Amino acid sequence: MAIDLEEPNTKCTRSTERYEDLLMNYEIHPEEVKRLRDAGEQFTFLDCREPWEYQTAHIDGTKHIPMQDIPARIQELDPDDHIVVICHHGVRSMNVTAWLRQQGYENAQSVTGGIDRWSRVVDSTIPIY
């Protein structure tokens, strides 16, 4: 493999750009989810938090399946649907999104910052916990 000494950062930059493009494809900002909802776009809004978390704060219209239950309940999700996954801060939803993608659910995305960010930038009536 030849290394171009004239442009030593080219490979890193291109690699970083590809990583960012991939990550952006896996994530969706809360404001974009709100725009989709307001526009009447059809998608499955999946909340993967624990039952006590869902009872504490949730977004109307979400489908609640705790993270550990998703493999057993995957038949409840359509692999052709756009699936937007939300959790508390975005870590579990990213794990669920990655797992769903591995199972062939190519249109799964994780909400950046989770319900915490949703509460701060989209709907302040959702409790922050």
Judge whether 87 counts as a catalytic residue. yes
N-term to C-term CA, the chain: 51
Which residue has 């960010």 as its token pair? 117
How does DSSP assign 4-27, residue by residue? Answer: -TTSTTHHHHHHHHHHHHHHHHHE
Catalytic residue among 83, 87, 96, 122: 87
Which residue has 């009536």 as its token pair? 125
Q: What are phi and psi of 66, to 5 degrees?
A: -55, 145
Q: Which residues are catalytic?
A: 87
